[in-house]
Amino acid sequence: MYEIIDTHCHLDMKEFDDDRDEVIKRSRENGVRAIIMPSTMKEDFENEKSLCDEYGLLFYMVGIHPHDAKTADSEAYDLAKKHLKNKKCVGVGEIGLDYYYDLSPRDKQRDVFSDFLDIAIKNSVPVSIHCRDADDDMVDILRSKKDLKGVIHCFSGSEKQLEVGLDLGLYFGIGGTLTFKNSVLKEAIRDVPLDFVVFETDAPYLAPVPKRGKRNEPVYIKYVIEKMAEISGENPHKISKKVFENSKNVFSLDRI
């Protein structure tokens, strides 16, 4: 059994409404020591907090997904800052840029991303960054900040993401896509030092092979660990131990 922290899991989503309790129980029984839920919009904050009150295993982050950037207002920022005082609220996310779907105007996405990065820096908490088809702007914004810590969530394997991440000391969120047949990540992962890897599901999305296409959940991270071991030739227990420590460090989960 591996010790696992799922650093990005949308366990609050409706896909888990029927059996959330069992998913959490299964996680606990299979070595999962913490599950961190990112928010996508301000309506998530309170709901995630209640789930965290109910389950010791859960933690949450506050942020607005680039898809919903258009909904960001001063109320959302104030609410996020308020939640960051809660000890279960361990970061800011998910935030970033998504020029693939373009569901919010790009200038608004950039402003909201930058504002939330500032909130994270001011509160000394890590961020979870979502970036799709927007590497250049992401790099510019990240490089304009100081004292940033966090994770490039769902690392795509792109060279630009790798370069800026390594330069700024960010971690790389690795999940189900590593196991996909034609994943470019299989090559790129060789250039990512194990010291900067964290695992994540992005559940309910992106279930790894052999569960691809099904609803994802934290216990499936074992397939990602084993794929990584296969690629690197490293012992899977050694990998999981190191990545567990990385995750604990970046999100300051001293108590788990």
The amino acid at 203 = A
Q: How far apart are CA 60 and CA 77, in angstroms?
A: 16
Nearest to Zn ion by Cβ — which residue? Answer: 202
Nearer CB in complex with Zn ion: 44/202:
202
| Dihedral, CA of residue 66, residue 68, residue 71 and residue 72, to nearest 10 | -30
CB of 232 to Zn ion, least distance (A): 25
What is the residue type of 206?
L
Assigned token pair, 132:
């799709």
Alpha-carbon dihedral sign for residues 141, 143, 144, 145: positive
- Rg of the chain in Å (alpha carbons): 17
Q: Choose the stretch contacting Zn ion; rule: CB under 5 A; options: 107-115, 197-205, 219-227, 241-249.
A: 197-205
What is the closest distance, in whole angstroms, from the C-beta atom of residue 93 to Zn ion in the complex?
Answer: 8
| Tokens describing residue 252 | 């300051």
CB of 60 to Zn ion, least distance (A): 13
Q: Could you say whether residue 202 binds Zn ion (CB under 5 A)? A: yes
Name the residue among 74, 44, 50 with its Cα closest to residue 62: 44
- Distance between CA 206 and CA 38 in Å, rounded? 15
Q: List binders of Zn ion among 113-152 (CB under 5 A).
A: none
Question: Is 8 in contact with 202 (CB distance < 8 Å)?
Answer: yes
Q: How far is the CB of 125 from Zn ion (least distance, A)?
A: 17
**Binding-residue total with Zn ion (CB under 5 A):** 1
Q: Least distance in Å: CB of 74 to Zn ion? A: 25
Measured CA to CA, the distance from residue 156 to residue 97 in angstroms comes to 14
* Residue closer to Zn ion, measured from CB, 38 or 157: 38
The 7-26 contact track toward Zn ion, x by CB under 5 A, reads --------------------
6 binds Zn ion (CB under 5 A): no
- Indicate the residue among 68 and 202 with the shorter CB distance to Zn ion: 202
Is residue 200 part of the contact set for Zn ion (CB under 5 A)? no
Which of 135, 202 has the CB closer to Zn ion? 202
Binding site for Zn ion (CB under 5 A): 202
